[in-house]
Structures are given as structure tokens and as C-alpha cells.
Amino acid sequence: MTETIINLETVNPLDFFGVNNAKLDILKKKFPLLKILSRGTQIKLSGAPEQIKAATEKIKLAISYLERNGSMSNNYFDQILGGDDVEVIDNFMERNPNEVLVFGPNGKSVRARTANQKKLVQEAEKNDVVFAIGPAGTGKTYTAVALAVRALKNKQVKKIILTRPAVEAGESLGFLPGDLKEKIDPYLRPLYDALDDMIPADKLGYFMTTRTIEIAPLAYMRGRTLDNAFIILDEAQNATDLQLKMFLTRIGANAKAIITGDMTQVDLPKNQRSGLKTAARILRNIPGIGYIELDEEDVVRHRLVKAIIKAYNAEHERSAEGDYSK
């Protein structure tokens, strides 16, 4: 029987142990042969040396993940403690802390922060076309833009093209004030915001002027061939079958494309069907095309966003079952 103490000075003990010690309970269930006590900013382990060694490795992996991301769900904590295969460990371990996707203005670093965001990076590195589907706030667009900026800085592509369908919330562009650019820009604003985080304003302005970076509505892609480019189609759930086919057949030589979307937020008119689900289904098994699903565990916005998504998902399931009593 031996003892060891692990310090939690680098993280908030409440974040590590969880509300009402929920994560501590998970830890005890994973290692039932150990006596595990929490004392302020310390964890005391008592038991067989091999059990203590295994638990210590997992706890340090969880601490490292929490240091990088600032939060850790019970589900992720459970995965970290229970995953022994290389793939699971790689998802949560940062083998190279300096492996940043891109450095933004003032030295800000942008990196994949969750397991599924890391998978998105891996899929994009292996494939020329990637579908990234998931709810709001999961970082799918932000990570895709970071990959595009990295490819441009590394001279892997000559230009970045960011596009979105200009149809949202049932609104008609004709009723909006201003010229065509003023009508379109609000729909493309999230793409501008992501670029602002990654490229200095003067350089971004130069890239936009020289069309090294182009942000345009999906309709502007018709008839073009997009060579030597990193192309992102955002909010693809608002593209029809024909629009998605048109976009995908624009991809030229030495080009990469990431298609992002959220199937729970389709804003197309009722007589039009989203083409994203169909495209992801019929294309995902083609070599060179990757597919990744993000979920509420990948939400990196306000902590309430995750709870909001879960609540809406539960309501959707009840509606599908026809049970409104819960």
C-alpha cells in the first residue's frame, strides 16, 4: 500500500472535481481499488502502486486538458479516464504545446481546442473535401477559417474563398436597405469576424483588395473554377441540392474545401430541401472526402450555450415522439 498526492494549483479545483463532486465520483468509479480523497487543491491516492500509476497518468492528462481549454465536461472526463487506446489519448493530449494553427494579431494563438475540432484538423489534412456538421458554437467555421489562413501563410494555396448562401431566417434580400454589398455583408459578417482574429487589419485589407481573400455569396460561385484555393462553404444547411452540387463541382486543381453546417438551423423556405444532409450521405464514403460531426461537447462559447443546445435537442426528440407532457 502506497500513497501519492497530486496538486491542482494550475486549475480551478471546482472545474476539476465538478459540481457536487460529480467528476470526483467518476474518478472513484473508474478506480474502485484506490482510496481517493480531495483536500482543497490536492488529490490523495492510496492503494497498489500500479493502480496509483495508472490513475496518476489519467489525472495529469485531465489536468493538462483543463489547463488548455478552461473547462471539461463530465463526458470528456469520463473518456479521458477510460480511454486506453492511442486514438483516445491523442484526442486529449497536446503532444506539442506549440502546435498552433495560426498566430493572430498581438500574438494571439488559434488552435483546435476540443477532441472533435482536432479531428476536423486531421480530416482536413488527409482529405481535399471535408464535411463538418454540428450545432452553433462548436467552432467548426472558426477552425475551418484557421486552417485556410494557415494554408495561405504556408503558401500551400494562393487564395482563400469564403462563401455562404445569402438566405437566412426567411428574409428576402430585396427588402433590405442599401446596395448589393450592403445587403450581403451582414450574412457574411461571421466570416469577417473570424478573419479579424487571425490577420492584422492592414494585411487583411490588402488581401481583400487583391482578392487573395474573397468573401462572397454562394450564388457568385456559379460558372467558376476554383484552383489553388482553400474554399469554405459556411451555413451549408441553407443550400439546396443543386446549389451544393454546383459548389462542389467548382473545386479545381490544388484546392481544398470545407463545408460546414447545422442541420437543426435550416432557414430555407418550406418548399425547398436542404442539400447538406443528402450530400454528406452520398459523398462521405468517397476517398478524399472526410466527414466529422461536432456536438454540444465541442461548444466553446458561453457555458450556457451547451445547456441551451441540449434543451432544444431534448425538445426536438419529444416532438418527434409526439410526447409533449415531459
The larger pLDDT score, comparing residue 171 to residue 200, is at: 200
At 170 the pLDDT is 42
> CA 232, CA 142: separation in Å to the nearest integer?
11
Least confident of 28-32, 67-71, 218-222, 238-242: 67-71
Contact (Cβ atoms closer than 8 angstroms) between residue 191 and residue 164: yes
| Residue (of 281, 223, 275) closest to 252 by Cα position | 223
- 200-237 residue pLDDT tens: 888 889 999 999 999 888 888 888 889 999 999 999 99
> CA 268, CA 218: separation in Å to the nearest integer?
14
DSSP code per residue over 165-209: -S--TT--GGGSSSSHHHHHHHHHHHHHHHHHHHS-HHHHHHHHH
At 10 the pLDDT is 73
At 166 the pLDDT is 73
Asked if the model's pLDDT at residue 326 lies above 50, the reply is no
At 188 the pLDDT is 75
- 42-85 residue pLDDT tens: 899 999 999 999 999 889 888 877 776 666 778 878 888 875 54
Asked if the model's pLDDT at residue 175 lies above 80, the reply is no
Instruction: Read off the pLDDT of each residue in 239-247 and give the average, rounded to a whole number.
Output: 93
Asked if the model's pLDDT at residue 112 lies above 50, the reply is yes
At 37 the pLDDT is 92
At 171 the pLDDT is 43
